[in-house]
């Protein structure tokens, strides 16, 4: 960037970001905020003003690594700062509602990680607070980052253009294997009071949102099963900071160690659904799929064609045009790296793929532009509430379906 470019960038009004939470998702969001202004021409200049976490030493180290200007150890102090315009919430779900509502009341814009909350009631309160704040010009958005992949954004535009015709059947899976070891400790993600639910909220929220985003319509009903395969896990040992050690970055949880405690969330969730148009859907979310590290796949089948996306091949779409003669029809690969594909006008030459971390820069770009334009960003808190209602319906259905009907053999 030349001197004139630097001068123009410095002259832009700043958007001063304060982030609550500093582990895995905090690092991902930091990458997005730090990168976005260097890649995209934005109407406002993101500034990494302050980051907040309970462990002062750890959050100071994180701030130094990722370029945050100041540190707080109490989120209330963060949102009270005059040099914060936007609060970015990257904490476990049990604190989302309290922080978001307070930040909106303090006059801040808000970005909140998914799932929006741990309950429908909390999500409703957050959505009401966001609606009230919108009247004051404040914006609130929930962070479903997989919408921001160029390939999924392209898929959405193809569906909206009618390339698939009337949708008939949607299949979505999100599979991981990091809980297979029964000796993996009881982190916060395995406790209902912190996480709300297990694979369902962690992974299922993503695929519910992605399915509704890609189809352009909400789910109208579900039928579900959930299971917890390992019901007791060892407590993490305390560290010198007073938090418990955890082998995955970003998952500290208070515990007594040694000893064990109950797992109070699901390890896997399977459910079917029906969209309001009548299209059928099937969903799988599991943290016990041995060999699958972060395997998200979605397939949309319509009367005129089909689309498929695989996160492990995230720069590609599979597309079948069913209007073509059968003699040469079939799935073909679309390499989503052209400058006229979504988000790619600012990145690399065609064929040079992007990665997971770029979704957070795209998320920041979209939010900064929405704030500058004074228009509601998407996905909104209302969109997050819709996902929360589906999650609750899945849990309710699974509770009802917990007793199997025997099948004669």
Condensed to tens digits (0 to 9), the pLDDT of residues 218-237 reads 999 999 999 999 999 999 87
Instruction: Say which residue, 404 or 271, is predicted with more confidence.
Output: 271
- Are 228 and 395 in contact, with CB atoms under 8 Å apart? no
Q: How confident is the model at residue 403 (pLDDT cuts 50, 70, 90)?
A: confident
Structure tokens at 186: 């009881």
Residues 6+ apart with CB under 8 A from 211: 170, 172, 219, 281, 283, 298
Q: Write down the pLDDT at residue 158.
A: 98
- Pairing type for strands 295-302 and 167-175 reads antiparallel
Report the alpha-carbon distance of residue 300 to residue 319 in Å, rounded: 10
Question: 168-205: string of b/e by CB count within 10 Å (b at 16+)?
Answer: eebbbbbbbbebeeeebbbbbbbbbebbbbbbbbbbbb
Whether residue 36 has a cis bond before it, omega within 30° of 0: no
Q: Over the chain, what is the mean pLDDT? A: 93
Closest CA to 199 of 262, 113, 268: 268
Q: How confident is the model at residue 240 (pLDDT cuts 50, 70, 90)?
A: very low
Q: Which tens digit of pLDDT belongs to each residue from 292-316?
A: 999 999 999 999 999 999 999 999 9
Please spell the DSSP secondary structure of 342-376, one letter per residue: TTGGGSPSTT----TTHHHHHHHHHHHHHHHHT--
Residues 6+ apart with CB under 8 A from 324: none
Q: Write down the pLDDT at residue 1.
A: 55
Q: How many CB atoms lie within 10 A of CB 86?
A: 27
Q: Write down the pLDDT at residue 10.
A: 77
pLDDT surpassing 90 at residue 350: yes
Report the alpha-carbon distance of residue 185 to residue 263 in Å, rounded: 10
* Dihedral angle sign, alpha carbons of residues 235, 229, 251, 120: negative
Inter-CA distances, 165 with 82, 161, 303, 325, Å: 51, 9, 5, 17
Mean pLDDT for 61-67 is 98
370, with CB counted inside 10 A (0-12, 13-18, 19+), is middle
Report the alpha-carbon distance of residue 96 to residue 109 in Å, rounded: 14
- Report the percent of the chain where pLDDT is more than 90: 89
Q: How confident is the model at residue 253 (pLDDT cuts 50, 70, 90)?
A: very low
- Are 222 and 233 in contact, with CB atoms under 8 Å apart? no
Report the alpha-carbon distance of residue 154 to residue 341 in Å, rounded: 7
Q: Which tens digit of pLDDT belongs to each residue from 273-289?
A: 999 999 999 999 999 99
231, with CB counted inside 10 A (0-12, 13-18, 19+), is exposed
Q: Write down the pLDDT at residue 258.
A: 72
Residues 6+ apart with CB under 8 A from 10: 45
Mean pLDDT for 343-367 is 98
Closest CA to 150 of 350, 305, 373, 332: 350
Domain boundaries for CATH 3.40.50.720 within the chain: 3-145
Domain boundaries for CATH 3.30.360.10 within the chain: 150-313+315-354
Residues 6+ apart with CB under 8 A from 77: 52
Q: Write down the pLDDT at residue 9.
A: 74
Report the alpha-carbon distance of residue 281 to residue 295 in Å, rounded: 18
24-39 vs 358-373: helix crossing angle, rounded to 10: 60
150-313+315-354 homologous superfamily: Dihydrodipicolinate Reductase; domain 2 (3.30.360.10)
Secondary structure letter of residue 183 according to DSSP: T
Q: Write down the pLDDT at residue 255.
A: 47
CATH of 3-145 given 1.10.490.10, 3.90.1300.10, 1.20.58.1180, 3.40.50.720 = 3.40.50.720
Q: Which tens digit of pLDDT belongs to each residue from 78-118?
A: 999 999 999 999 999 999 999 999 999 999 999 999 999 99
């Amino acid at each position: 960037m030349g001197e004139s470019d630097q001068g123009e960038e410095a002259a832009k009004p700043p958007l001063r970001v304060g982030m609550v939470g500093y582990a895995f998702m905090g690092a991902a969001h930091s990458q997005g905020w730090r990168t976005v202004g260097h890649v995209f021409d934005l109407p406002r200049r993101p500034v990494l003003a302050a980051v907040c976490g309970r462990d002062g030493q750890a959050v100071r180290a994180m701030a130094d690594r990722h370029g945050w200007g100041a540190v707080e150890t109490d989120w209330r102090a963060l949102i009270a700062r005059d040099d914060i315009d936007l609060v970015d919430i990257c904490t476990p779900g049990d604190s989302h509602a309290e922080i978001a509502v307070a930040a909106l009341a303090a006059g801040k814009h808000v970005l909140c990680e998914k799932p929006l909350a741990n309950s429908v009631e909390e999500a409703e309160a957050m959505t009401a607070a966001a609606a009230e704040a919108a009247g004051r010009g404040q914006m609130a958005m929930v962070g479903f980052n997989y919408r921001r992949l160029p390939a999924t954004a392209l898929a959405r535009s193809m569906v909206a253009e009618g390339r698939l015709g009337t949708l008939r059947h949607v299949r979505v899976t999100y599979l991981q294997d990091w809980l297979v070891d029964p000796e993996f400790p009881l982190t916060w993600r395995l406790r209902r009071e912190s996480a709300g639910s297990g694979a369902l909220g962690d992974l299922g929220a993503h695929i519910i949102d992605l399915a509704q985003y890609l189809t352009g319509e909400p789910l109208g009903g579900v039928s579900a099963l959930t299971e917890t395969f390992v019901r007791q896990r060892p407590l993490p040992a305390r560290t010198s900071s007073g938090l418990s050690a955890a082998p995955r970055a970003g998952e500290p949880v208070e515990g007594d160690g040694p000893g064990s405690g109950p797992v109070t969330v699901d390890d896997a969730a399977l459910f079917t659904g029906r969209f309001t148009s009548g299209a059928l859907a099937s969903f799988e979310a599991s943290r016990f799929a041995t060999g699958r590290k972060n395997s998200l796949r979605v397939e949309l089948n319509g009367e005129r064609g089909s689309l498929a996306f695989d996160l492990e091949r995230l720069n590609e779409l599979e597309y079948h045009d069913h209007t073509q003669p059968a003699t040469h029809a079939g799935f073909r690969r679309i390499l989503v790296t052209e400058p006229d594909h979504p988000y790619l006008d600012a990145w690399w030459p065609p064929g040079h793929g992007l990665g997971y971390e770029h979704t957070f820069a795209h998320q920041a770009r979209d939010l900064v532009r929405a704030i500058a334009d004074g228009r509601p960003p998407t996905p909104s808190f209302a969109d997050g509430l819709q996902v929360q209602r589906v999650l609750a319906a899945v849990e309710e259905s699974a509770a009802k379906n917990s007793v199997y009907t025997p099948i004669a053999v």
